[in-house]
Amino acid sequence: QAQLLESGGGSVQAGGSVRVSCSVSNYHYTKYCVGWFRQSPGNEREGVATISSDGSPMYANFVKGRFSISQANDKDTVYLQLSSLKPEDSGIYYCAVRFSVVCPSGPSSLDGEFFAYWGQGTQVTVSS
């Protein structure tokens, strides 16, 4: 069974940057879709960005131009660079993956129900 491990969260001031990482192991697929989600207390989980095995990214409107998703050359790690951070970006950031498919086009790519495997999350706290 695939395993996902997030890292790199922390505390940062508004306007700052942080990079979170998602390491994926125990998988044997060349086609996949990896997504980043976040959840803060009292709020529902929301999709942030996705990337397909072919490198195609997709972003939620509220992070366009501020966040960037990428993957390492070995494709075992997916990064999310968070820049121009706002206090409302605080939350636990989770990565998730679904194998044997690329990310769908449109808003369905950011639907958590699409993904099969999830990590435990990493906390990002943005102070004003």
Instruction: Grade residue 119 by pLDDT with cuts at 50, 70 and 90.
Output: very high
pLDDT in tens, 42-98: 999 999 999 999 888 999 999 989 999 999 988 899 999 999 999 999 999 999 999
Give how far Cα 44 sits from Cα of 37, 58, 75, Å: 10, 20, 29
What's residue 120's pLDDT?
97
Mean pLDDT to the nearest integer, 25-45: 92
Pairing relationship of beta strands 91-99 and 122-127 according to DSSP bridges: antiparallel
Mean pLDDT to the nearest integer, 14-18: 98
Q: Is the pLDDT of residue 28 over 90?
A: no
Find where tokens 């369905």 sit: 108
- Note the residue count of the chain: 128
Alpha-carbon distance of 28 to 121, in angstroms, equals 23
What's residue 73's pLDDT?
83
What's residue 10's pLDDT?
96
Q: Quickly count: other Cβ atoms within 10 Å of residue 58's Cβ.
A: 21
User: Are the C-beta atoms of 7 and 20 separated by less than 8 Å?
Assistant: yes
What's residue 58's pLDDT?
95
Q: What is the mean pLDDT of the chain?
A: 94
* Better pLDDT: 16 or 55: 16
What's residue 122's pLDDT?
98
